[in-house]
Amino acid sequence: MQSPKLRRRYRRRARRGFSLVEIVVAVAIIAMISAGITVAVININEQQKIKLTRSNAELLRGAVKLWRIQGNDSAACPTIPMLIADGEIDRGRMTKEDAWGQPWQIVCDDRDAIVSSRGPDRLPDTDDDIRVPPS
């Protein structure tokens, strides 16, 4: 059995709980961990958008080249509605705009087709533009 003195000491410790400093430190640590995770997730999400946009641009470029090979007006450059109407691509969000909600840019020359997106900053002719084939 414990002495009455020891029991009083344990009861006092149990009643005290946590100090304000301990709570503030714990909250600060949780906030730093949360901020780190948030930054990592945002960065991963942006990288996935870039990969998706590059992949979709390659698919659109293939559809444009196929449309031109199949005997359509090889001097003209098809638009997205023309590719959908001719069955080269399916109707969907990918066909209307890139991952940032901007319309695709399709440019054709005599031998090739170039599909591009304005990229994450949504501004034309900047370093983050996505272009297939790369220049």
Q: What is the pLDDT of residue 13?
A: 62
Q: What is the pLDDT of residue 83?
A: 87
Please state the domain count of the chain.
1
CATH number at 127 reads 3.30.700
- Host domain of residue 84: 4-132
Does the pLDDT at position 129 exceed 80? yes
Beta bridge partners of 115: 106, 132
What tokens were used for 107? 């440019």
* Residue bearing the bigger pLDDT, 92 or 49: 49
pLDDT tier for residue 104 given thresholds of 50, 70 and 90: very high
> Per mean pLDDT, which range of 32-36, 43-47, 92-96 is the poorest?
92-96
Q: What is the pLDDT of residue 30?
A: 97
Give the start-end residues of each E strand in the chain.
Answer: 105-108, 113-117, 130-132
Does the pLDDT at position 50 exceed 90? yes
Alpha-carbon span 72 to 124, nearest angstrom: 29
> Per mean pLDDT, which range of 15-19, 55-59, 66-70, 123-127 is the poorest?
15-19
Place of tokens 């994450």: 120
pLDDT tier for residue 133 given thresholds of 50, 70 and 90: very high
Reported pTM: 0.70
